[in-house]
Amino acid sequence: MGYNSFYNKNVKRWIGVFLAVVLILILWPFYFIIAAAVAIEDGFPVFYRPYRGGYGGKPFRIFKFRSMVKNADKIGGGTTALNDSRITKVGNFLRKTKLDETPQLFNIIAGSMSFIGPRPELLRYVEKYEGEEELIMQVRPGITDFSSVEFINLDEVVGSGNADEMYEKYVLKRKNKLRVKYAKEVSFTTDCKLFFGTVWRVIEKAFGFIFLNKHK
């Protein structure tokens, strides 16, 4: 298998579109509730749509529910620190449960993302890809991959200080290695393992957050 496989270039795309359409039909009432909660706390817009590095090296705008105050990227860096003051109350819940990522189903339908694939990176980091890192651009970015599972608690890894500096020093190279690993190993089997592995980690994280809050 791998990035040159028929699965990666053809089959994977249409499986993703089908599943994304089904999930949107199921989730759209919750989207209205989440959108209303975001707007009530911090106004519009309810979506955050920054540019990220995409398939074939083409930048695209990712869909997320806005979990930070407006113009957060102008207030602080691109990496979210532990207990980042820019995160709203609703946003904190969305991030802990990963619900802020679910609008990326629209990116999947549009063809700019897949369910499984290298997590899309900030353009300033993508522009520095070299050697094998360029393979990352040969697969569509995804909602989850090896790096998403390993760094599901990224804010705890970078800490509460200079998050961008910590990310660049201790996380970025490792994430890129895991992204390259995915590009080389992409297959239906790999995608299934990552999908169910991610679901399990997200459930663990969400229940941990909810349980701990109930007992504070």
Per-residue model confidence as pLDDT tens digits over 16-68: 999 999 999 999 999 999 999 999 999 999 999 999 999 998 999 999 999 99
Is the predicted pLDDT of residue 210 greater than 80, yes or no?
no
pLDDT in tens, 128-142: 999 999 999 999 999
Dihedral sign from CA coordinates of 138, 142, 147, 151: positive
Instruction: Give the DSSP H/E element, type plus range, for residue 60.
Output: strand 60-61
Identity at 177, one-letter amino acid code:
K
What is the Cα–Cα distance from 91 to 41, expressed in whole angstroms? Answer: 10
> To 5 degrees, how large is the angle CA 113–CA 140–CA 173?
110
Q: How many CB atoms lie within 10 A of CB 82?
A: 15
Identity at 210, one-letter amino acid code:
I
Is the predicted pLDDT of residue 214 greater than 70, yes or no?
no
What is the Cα–Cα distance from 94 to 29, expressed in whole angstroms? Answer: 16
Is the predicted pLDDT of residue 93 greater than 80, yes or no?
yes
Residue 187: DSSP 8-state: S
